[in-house]
């Protein structure tokens, strides 16, 4: 049978899934047959998002930087759906904008805890509780900022650079049972990135080859590909989804 984008019979867990890119990934997975656990900090927002998704979904409120909550969410996913095949580490935070040299340590530590330590912890739990025995895929949402330099969110970008490295390293450790890949979005029109895109919100032409802002659906379609059998011989890869900006030298897209 030829490979396809069909996720029928698979179980996915998506962090940071109440809105934006995470919500779009959860939706496209469910629409293509997966059972999906949506997780983020706020249960009400999760329930609102899940209610708009056609397919088999459940929600579990958890802080992405808390190891105990991560373990509980993975366990709840397995209990609810009978397994876990796909983990998407999408949750992230950015409590600081400004020069990296001026950041205070509490906000530095928070950014590292959620954006870099968090994906490792969630992957550890998914591996120990299911993926080591059953196999599957891990997809980390990184950023083109982790591949370039400059700008007002340098510490956030450092965490994404670290996550790119971690993605590639875990791919060497977890194969052949588990494929580990990453998606590096450029500038996507989400609430999370509002401070970066809103100053040019009325522009009808953005300075990269495809000439527009990204949408959550652009990233979700890439996540569907990396979760499906169409990517069955791809691991340790960072898929850039940025409208061509990085090849032109534009940082955020």
pTM: 0.95
The verdict on whether omega for the bond into residue 176 sits within 30 degrees of 0, i.e. cis, is: yes
Kindly report, residue by residue over 95-126, the tens digit of the pLDDT. Answer: 999 999 999 999 999 999 999 999 999 999 99
Report the alpha-carbon angle 19-21-27, nearest 5: 75
Kindly report, residue by residue over 176-226, the tens digit of the pLDDT. Answer: 999 999 999 999 987 766 666 556 556 677 888 998 888 999 999 999 999
Cα dist from 4 to 59, 193, 208, whole Å? 27, 32, 31
Question: What pLDDT shows up at residue 201?
Answer: 57
Starting at the earlier edge strand, list the strands of the sheet with 11-15: 57-61, 35-40, 11-15, 86-89, 136-141, 178-185, 238-241
The answer to whether residues 37 and 79 touch, using CB atoms and an 8 Å cutoff, is: no
Q: Which residues are catalytic?
A: 156
Class of domain 11-238: alpha beta
pLDDT category of residue 247 using cuts at 50, 70 and 90: confident
Q: What is the domain partition of the chain in residue ranges?
A: 11-238
Question: What pLDDT shows up at residue 46?
Answer: 98
- Rama region for 80: left / alpha / beta (φ>0; ψ in -120 to 50; rest): alpha
């Amino acid at each position: 049978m030829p490979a396809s984008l069909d996720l029928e019979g698979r179980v996915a867990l998506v962090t940071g899934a109440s809105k934006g890119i995470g919500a779009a990934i959860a939706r496209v997975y469910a629409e293509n047959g997966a059972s999906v656990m949506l997780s983020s900090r706020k249960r009400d927002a999760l329930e609102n998002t899940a209610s708009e998704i056609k397919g088999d979904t459940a929600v579990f409120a958890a802080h992405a930087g808390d190891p105990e909550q991560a373990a509980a969410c993975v366990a709840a996913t397995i209990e609810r759906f009978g397994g876990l095949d796909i983990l998407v580490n999408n949750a992230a935070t950015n409590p600081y904008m400004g020069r990296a040299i001026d950041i205070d340590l509490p906000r530095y530590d928070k950014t590292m805890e959620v954006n870099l330590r968090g994906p490792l912890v969630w992957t550890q739990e998914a591996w120990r509780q299911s993926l080591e025995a059953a196999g599957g895929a891990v997809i980390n949402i990184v950023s083109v900022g982790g591949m370039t330099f400059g700008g007002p969110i340098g510490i956030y970008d450092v965490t994404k650079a670290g996550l790119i490295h971690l993605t590639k390293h875990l791919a060497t450790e977890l194969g052949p049972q588990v494929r580990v890949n990453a998606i590096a979005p450029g500038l996507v029109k989400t609430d999370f990135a509002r401070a970066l895109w809103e100053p040019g919100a009325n522009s009808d032409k953005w300075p990269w080859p495809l000439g527009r802002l990204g949408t959550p659906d652009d990233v979700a379609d890439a996540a569907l590909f990396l979760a499906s059998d169409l990517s069955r011989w791809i691991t340790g890869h960072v898929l850039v989804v940025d409208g061509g900006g990085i090849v032109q030298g534009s940082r955020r897209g």
